Structure 1
């Protein structure tokens, strides 16, 4: 995917510190502080243009959400959605997933969403996949005990790889769908990619796994 460069993106991000947390390392171990209420925290890694995380925050006001996106030219689209919705239970972080442990302490996070992550199909890029074992260890270090990962993709190879990675790490499989949009799953909120791919007839794969 070629990203359209937006030279004004950084300036816009800086204009809205109430939505895009400027110094996230200050909240490590106390992530209730930027929010109005102290409640469970769910994060989405690779939030893209923000449709999923914004709609989740609207649907579940009793949960605090953080959307994490590394690309400034992408996160500003999520920022636009948040500015319009003005949700007290949603914040954005413009960071790299590799830096999660610098910003979150053990027990800070209740659930992690991975939606349509880059598949990195070449074997030499395996370590970049967000379901690779080093990332699973990273997630374990910020999640509460028995914390969960909810994973969606249209890429069957990535899904099969991820199921194997989850199993080898010792995660417990709670839910599995090989065709989400033709299943009995309720309350699904689509991402922008999900709508695009499903309209093309692609199957959507989904699973929920839990740390033991």
Structure 2
């Protein structure tokens, strides 16, 4: 890693850590809307890696790998901050989904079925499923409202809007809301946020596709938000 003069061999570091850039970009991309391009994240992460190679100081105490990982992720987050990474229509549909879920479940006194919520929104079932797919990425922790430590925690998991609902003040209410979820959605949240399985693994357990996992996750979060808003 170092030349005969005791300096870091940047070419070797670049070759070693470029795969890390791609892994972090792929991990982040799974929680973002489809309009966010993977190559843009990789480019931003590569710039972060180059920045880490320039700024790293052996005296800081952290290994280069740890330092580089932080700079790579930070560069990707900065890239997302510079753009409106969730279209307004997606945010609008996410709010409409939560409102419809709340109205239907208040009226029926039980968890709403997909067709019932779709009907309340004036959508076909296929359109409703598309809204669920679109809103899953928008449920990432608000980037501008959390510090870097929280961003790291959010990015270390595969799907993380659940964490946004959890704090000391509303934990008891949230637990009650989770208990009221349909069984499959409770299982999905447990597999995702406790067992830390990825989309593919959760899909294998539930017998559904990865895209369906995202839809069910969005639906579960919408139910929880609707319940927490009461």
Structure with higher Rg: it is 2
Structure (1 or 2) with the greater strand fraction: 1
TM-score by length of 2: 0.25
TM-score by length of 1: 0.27
Structure (1 or 2) with the greater helix fraction: 2
